[in-house]
Structure 1
């Protein structure tokens, strides 16, 4: 019997046919009868990463590298990102827990509030950025200049995103299942249309960009596109029936899906001078298709953001339902967009990205060192603060920040690596688990 199946039997209090307060189990392990298959996980994660703003990172790379070098950079960055997210996704499937609830076991029941505030707050900010972007681009497409028209669009699309997130995993699955294939078909069409502009693949390979960028900076850009959001992959992989399914789904979403979006952005920048396919479609006079790509893509991605700050709020206030926090966070994000704060948030939120990946590193290291056999059992006696892991997190954040300030290495990777290594190495100095619990786990295995 595997450790994961033991955990599921030990920690599940729900029985098939029961009516939970929240079918997404924001603060408890997802029980066996609520788990999903591989296809469902893949659809949700692929829908999460097919995100048009990622193309902007690709546009920067397209101006600095030729085709062969570009493919190498995207492959390296996507491999780093995919590996990190796949490990976290594997842990999520084995424990059945969200990232912020796993943080209780890593940082303590009070220390975990830092993770909830950091992850939830960042997602609210990005939610506002996306809502504001939709309002601005829609107004641009139709030539609207009045603030009222933009505001109406923001409020309507925010309500749709909020409703999808309230509906939970099922809502995001159906939106992703319908929109993601259509968006990919449209994106590939634009890519081939772009290739026609430069004489096909041979013509693209013959182009030598004028710009330049160090390889480390380029790989950092690829990793940085989704490393912060990827830290919350367990929010969805916890519905997986096995760790192996979660790993493959994460690889498809974060290595293939995210890599494609970066590549599309690079192609658009090289051929049209514009990395965002929405604006490329606008420039081609295809406003209807551009708006479809805009709404379909950002709707599902922002619903994921709303879901993330919903489960973070449930953990922060220890409530069994995410609904009120999804609604409240959506209102805050919409207000941010309406007052124009979204135009100034991206740099600030990017800075927060330096401090999120180390959290994932600490969780991975602590899990491997202390929880791999027993899978973070429900009801475990936990300290309020795990000062050792909190200290590790601070040191890892400092290392990532210094790396960025002095332009050496890949800041997110350095933060993750330092956190993982230190949390494993210093396990014996942290809170020790009761001997009885360890003995029971060993006997069951």
Structure 2
């Protein structure tokens, strides 16, 4: 009984979420929206906004965010049906030991985002308030451990923070967009602005899709709490299509009108510096706590421990150290890494669920899983290689290639395994 209670207190890091612990669609929507309201997403939108005419820009943002939303929703549906997060689903797709590769990749990328957000908060606060630069490192330590408080509490802490922060951020963004539209001279003024940079459409969609694909791959940490697959899909689309789309649109508006991509810099240019500081704090906190929570869930599966809260604090410490060491300057290569090597994980997981398990996993506690699922690991390697060498939308190519490779390999190899097992049993 005590083991069951401990697992509940730790948010079920190594077991399916039971029916009585499921959450409402509104609860998940708030948590996921808080996750996708992120400064780096606005940076991506700003980079795209400076390179295209307004009408073309809208189509790129629509396509990129729709692809991201569909990808995250597919994983979210599986999570709701099974009650499992990405780390646990990886055991079926990559094997009991092979899943540790997925844990490491996902955990590393999430703690990298945590480090970047922690450094960003400290650096911009010093810049905007005129505080002595000597306070930058102490502030990184303060925010590095402070941001993890709601994640330490668990889903309940993330939910409570998001219910306050998300409506406040939506109001602030609406005010800022209204002022930006007026300063640009309305729709006619926006349409008349000429691009100031060059970028291909494929590269632009890759940037929009790839910036938050790591988060989309791990959104299962919350959609596993959904009461139904439909609720998970709606909540995920609300966050990754609508919410992430809004963030990229804000960044694009800023690049077009003010030559700035970040909402904080935009608000300073609009004379809303105080609101800008508040927006920055809410924007980062609601993403930071989700990010370190993701790290903790992946870490629990990697180490096979139920102590999610302990892993959360360890993750915050690692993220803080990376922030102090200069993670702020590594954003661009980090985004390229995310867009190439993470999406194939999701492609393999979805194909494994549909092809091998036919839409219903076996009981995690009793199903005998191989140490290494070489079909899943091979499909992931193929998807990553093709994505890395692709000149088209690399994240999308990675997902589709990995899923197709898994389906082909499984259909070829699984019947052979079944025949061998049948012959062995007869003998």
TM over 0.5: yes
Matched, 1:274 2:260: yes
Asked if 1:293 is matched to 2:279, the reply is yes
Q: Report the counterpart of residue 76 of structure 2 in structure 1.
A: 89
Confirm or deny that 1:50 pairs with 2:23.
Answer: no
- Please list the CA deviations of residues 128-159 of structure 1 after superposition, one character each: whole Å capped at 9, or x if unmatched: 11101111000101223332x11232222222
* Among candidates 101, 105, 130, match of residue 118 of structure 1: 105
Q: CA deviation at 1:18?
A: 5.1
- The reply to whether residue 371 of structure 1 matches residue 357 of structure 2 is yes
Aligned with residue 22 of structure 1, among 5, 9, 13: 9
Aligned to 1:98: 85
Establish whether residue 326 from structure 1 lines up as the match of residue 312 from structure 2: yes
Aligned residue pairs total 417
Once residues 268 and 352 of structure 1 are traced to their aligned partners in structure 2, the CA distance between those partners, rounded to angstroms, is 25
Given that residues 353 and 360 in structure 2 are in contact (C-alpha distance below 8 angstroms), is that contact kept between their aligned partners in structure 1? no
CA distance in 1, matches of 2:32, 2:46: 23
Question: Could you tell me which residue of structure 2 aligns to residue 421 of structure 1?
Answer: 404
Q: Any conservation in 1 of the 2:353–2:359 contact (CA below 8 Å)? A: no
2:57 matched to which residue of 1?
70
1:71-116: CA deviations, max 9, x gaps? 1111111111111111011011111111011100110000000011
Deviation at 1:229, TM superposition (A): 1.5
From 211, 228, 248, the equivalent of 2:197 is 211
Shift of 1:345: 5.2
Cα separation, partners in 2 of 1:143 and 1:246, compared to 1, 3 Å: same
Shift of 1:287: 2.5
Q: Give the 5 Å matches for 1:291-370.
A: 291-344=277-330, 346-348=332-334, 350-370=336-356
Tell whether the 8 Å contact from 2:258 to 2:269 is kept in structure 1 after alignment: no
More helix by share: 2
* Contact 1:94/1:375 (<8 A) preserved: no
Q: Secondary structure at the match of 1:53?
A: helix
Pairing 1:145–2:132 present: yes
Distance 2:267 2:334 in 1: 30
| 1:384 correspondence with 2:371 | yes
Matched, 1:109 2:109: no
Residue 29 of structure 1 and its aligned partner are, at CA, apart by 0.2
Residue of structure 2 equivalent to 1:168: 154
In 1, the alpha carbon distance for the partners of 2:283 and 2:413 equals 43
Deviation per residue, 1:14-60 (Å, 9 max, x gap): 99x95645341011000000001111111111111111221111111
Secondary structure at 2:148 match in 1: helix
Residue 217 of structure 1 aligns to a residue in which SS? helix
Tell me, what secondary structure is at the counterpart of 2:48? Answer: helix
CA contact (8 A) 2:11 2:155 kept: yes
Residue 128 of structure 1 contacts residue 337 of structure 1 at CA under 8 Å; is this kept in 2? yes
Alpha carbons 2:343, 2:395 under 8 Å: kept: yes
Change (3 A) 1:18 1:330: closer
Cα distance, 1:28–1:170 mapped onto 2, change above 3 Å? same
Unaligned runs of 5+ in 1: 1-12, 436-445
Contact 1:126 1:349 (C-alpha < 8 Å) held by counterparts: no
Measure the CA separation in 1 of the matches of 2:82 and 2:413.
Answer: 21
Aligned to 1:344, what secondary structure does the other structure show?
helix
Q: Are residues 289 and 369 of structure 1, via their aligned partners in 2, closer, same or farther at CA, if it must alter by over 3 Å?
A: same
Unaligned runs of 5+ in 2: 420-427
Contact 1:194–1:267 (CA under 8 A) maintained in structure 2:
yes
